[in-house]
Structure 1
């Protein structure tokens, strides 16, 4: 059964695969910011819990080894007790020693096998948990890099569009108020005023 963080990564990958491409582009896609932010927010919330879970698995190594040691010690103690019982029987003293040594030897071997197997199992679980956690973090890192790259491309495209529209607005303003037209209009107004003053003087002279 997969973890929630794996499901989230699958959902994000499926979402990205299902996004439409931007017009005239085979690499840039159109992303719904609210949907991708929701998936990333849940991924950030779940990642620490997943890591803690696998750290707990790693920490269980000591519990496994302690359990193995306890079983081994119990086995040795049982063998020792049995040995003492055999030794106490004077009639089978020699046989008791031989049997006792054999029992202790077998108990020691079994205890060592238990410890070896427990150590191998704990190390295997630890390596698997570390590898799995590293794979998850690698997927998260890749996803974050892709998201950051896509966001930067959208931002650069938006700024380029704003600059283009700003240039168009400035060009339109220049067309509405060209500098040459303002100078020419000023000269015409001045000439008209002078001409009007001259006409007034001639009219007064004629009346006189």
Structure 2
């Protein structure tokens, strides 16, 4: 099922596709400033909700890890209690030590496996959510960049608004990938904008 922001992106694409070309031009189109402004305003309102939605998915990592830690601690506590019970049985002291060590080792290994699996699962959820958000923002970025390039020079106010929104999207992408360098994409878009 498509998200609301994806539906708005589709509407913007349909709107741009339906615009008429300027006389004697096969690349520049004529847009209705009020209509495109309304679409952009609605898109601007929807974007924070979509980002919060996927941030909630990412936050589930903490819940998964906490649940795994609780299970691991419960296993270790149970093993410790069982160990103490065995040690108190003097007539089978040696056997108790051997069994206790085996139980603690097994519980520790199982606890570590739970933590490892939970970490992998949480990271997979986080990466999938981040990739989906990045793809969605990249698609939106390309659409707005394309619309900016094709918009008539007579709509300077509209062009300024779209450039401002493009910067917001690029900032959101940068927050998703704080250690990655997006300068190459930014420079490419800036050159395209300057050319128009």
Q: Which residue number in structure 2 is paired with residue 39 of structure 1?
A: 39
Q: Aligned runs of 1:1-208 on 2, under 5 Å? A: 1-155=1-155
Pick the structure with greater CA Rg.
1
Q: Which residue number in structure 2 is paired with residue 190 of structure 1?
A: none
State how far apart, in whole Å, the 1-side matches of 2:152 and 2:63 are. Answer: 48
Aligned-pair CA distance for 1:150: 3.0
State how far apart, in whole Å, the 1-side matches of 2:105 and 2:11 are. Answer: 57
| 102-111 or 31-40: bigger deviation | 31-40
State how far apart, in whole Å, the 1-side matches of 2:99 and 2:80 are. Answer: 11
Aligned-pair CA distance for 1:112: 0.5
Aligned-pair CA distance for 1:67: 1.8
Q: Secondary structure at the match of 2:124?
A: helix
User: If each structure's helix is expressed as a fraction of its own residues, which one has the higher value?
Assistant: 1
TM-score, length-normalised on structure 2?
0.68
Aligned-pair CA distance for 1:111: 0.5
Q: Secondary structure at the match of 2:152?
A: helix
Aligned-pair CA distance for 1:75: 0.8
Aligned-pair CA distance for 1:103: 1.3
Deviations 1:20-53 (A, max 9, x none): 4445443333433333222211111111121222
Aligned-pair CA distance for 1:11: 2.1
Q: Secondary structure at the match of 1:117?
A: helix
**Unaligned stretches of 5+ residues in structure 1:** 157-208
**Unaligned stretches of 5+ residues in structure 2:** 157-196
| 7-16 or 20-29: bigger deviation | 20-29
State how far apart, in whole Å, the 2-side matches of 1:34 and 1:63 are. Answer: 45
CA RMSD of aligned residues (A): 2.3
